[in-house]
Structure 1
Amino acid sequence: MEAGGLADSLLSGACVLFTLGMFSTGLSDLKHMRMTRSVDSVQFLPFLTTDVNNLSWLSYGALKGNWTLIVVNAVGAVLQTLYILVYLYYCHRKAKVIRTKSTQRLSFSLTIATLLTSASWTFYGFRLKDPYIVVPNFPGILTSFIRFWLFWKYPQEQDRNYQLLQT
């Protein structure tokens, strides 16, 4: 196998691995929503935007006949739709990060996964010289950095469910 083919295969594998990892971060939110019967610490917008993105990429993958895009985005669309349906089932009210000055409702693991996924797909698109892969994934890198900034500006509070010892 030539060097370019091996590099493309490794990068394609990284894209699949990071993307499926990103999609699976919602499983912890799903478990939390089912256990608490609420959506208090879960945000809806990432599920919606990722689902729309998956459906778009699934269409593009079908158009190009690219099985990497088809399989990954079919799995993603199914998972994101499931997350949305469970969210809507348990949703009673909404909270905002800026209004509450709290990142308790943001997922740090999803932020990292989104950065890795968006970066790997962007590099994959550059490698294939395909702007239809590069352009839609680049905003994921930017929004990840915005979320990192929010985590820095509004750090998550530590769990304070313990008793202080008297001295």
Structure 2
Amino acid sequence: MADFSVHWVFAFGVLGNIVSFFVFLSPLPTFYKMYKKKSTEGYQSIPYVVALFSAMLWIYYAFLKTNTTLLITINTFGCFVEIIYVGFYLFYASKEARVQTIKLLLLLVVGGFGAIVLVSQFLFEGAVRVQVVGWICLVCSLCVFVAPLCIVKQVIKTKSVEYMPFLLSVILTLSAVMWFFYGLLLKDFNIAIPNVLGFIFGILQMVLHVMYYNKKEEEFVKEQNLPELKNHKHANYGELKSNIGLI
């Protein structure tokens, strides 16, 4: 029975690595835009710095535990990718944005992570140290999962899903499911609990996408003054927009 559980832990860990791999690569289109325009265009560096900080925390937590190799592998990749993102951002950012990013790096990655490591090493031992670092990881992950609420609020307010890609919502939801079961089977609730919230927000985003995507298409048809398609339930709005040149 124990071997069976180990196999499932490994399976969900591998699947979590695969899905999270694509999550970490999801900002590539944004950085391609920066590269094309040689500018950060008002994009913020905060998500990438926070993601780097989070990945470093999880690696530290995983090293304090046993049987968490798959947690180390994906977050090592995450650190590598986020460092590239931050470096790329600094290269194309304005002087003001560059200074703000460096300050954030010093505050969060150097100061924050350094303080957590030092305090946990000198003030706590053994299982208590693991528990304290696990709580910090849990809180950090909850903050990361709560962040999309700003986008959800914008979607409800504007009734537009333009800035909330459906595929990304699906990937994030799958990632939350994989890591939830990984943490649950390991009996590590510091991993499992935050992903419950991630799953809930992922489902919420997909529901909102279904709700407001149809409204967006209906409003588009009305704006184009095409009465012959307004009541056509099977109208191919994607093809319509493509023909008009909006895709």
Smaller-chain TM-score bracket: 0.7 to 0.9
Q: Is the 8 A contact 1:25 1:109 kept in 2?
A: no
Corresponding position: 1:138 with 2:140: no
Structure 2 counterpart of 1:71: 73
Q: Secondary structure at the match of 1:17?
A: helix
- Which protein is bigger by CA-based radius of gyration? 2
Question: What is the letter of the counterpart of residue 105 of structure 1?
Answer: Y
Change (3 A) 1:139 1:27: same
Pairwise CA distance, 1:118: 1.1
Change (3 A) 1:163 1:72: closer
Pairwise CA distance, 1:134: 0.8
Q: How far does the alpha carbon of each residue in 1:63-109 deviate from its partner, in whole angstroms, 9 at most, with x for none?
A: 21532212211211221343345456358xxxx75187233222333
Structure 1 counterpart of 2:107: none
Question: What is the letter of the counterpart of residue 69 of structure 2?
Answer: W
Unpaired segments ≥5 residues, structure 2: 95-149, 218-237
TM-score (norm 2): 0.52
Q: How far does the alpha carbon of each residue in 1:105-135 deviate from its partner, in whole angstroms, 9 at most, with x for none?
A: 2233322221111110001111111111112
Question: What is the letter of the counterpart of residue 83 of structure 1?
Answer: Y
Q: Secondary structure at the match of 1:129?
A: coil
Structure 2 counterpart of 1:53: 54
Pairwise CA distance, 1:53: 2.7
Q: Is the 8 A contact 2:183 2:190 kept in 1?
A: yes
Deviates more, 1:128-137 or 1:78-87: 78-87
User: Greater helix share, 1 or 2?
Assistant: 2
Change (3 A) 1:123 1:17: same
Q: How far does the alpha carbon of each residue in 1:12-48 deviate from its partner, in whole angstroms, 9 at most, with x for none?
A: 21121111122122223322332344667x7866545
Of structures 1 and 2, the one with the larger relative CO (CA 8 A, separation 6+) is 1
Change (3 A) 1:37 1:151: farther
Structure 1 counterpart of 2:118: none
Change (3 A) 1:142 1:39: farther
Alignment partners' CA distance in 2, 1:143 and 1:47? 20
Unpaired segments ≥5 residues, structure 1: none
Question: What is the letter of the counterpart of residue 5 of structure 1?
Answer: V
TM-score (norm 1): 0.72
Alignment partners' CA distance in 2, 1:43 and 1:103? 20
Structure 2 counterpart of 1:104: 162
Give the % identical residues.
23
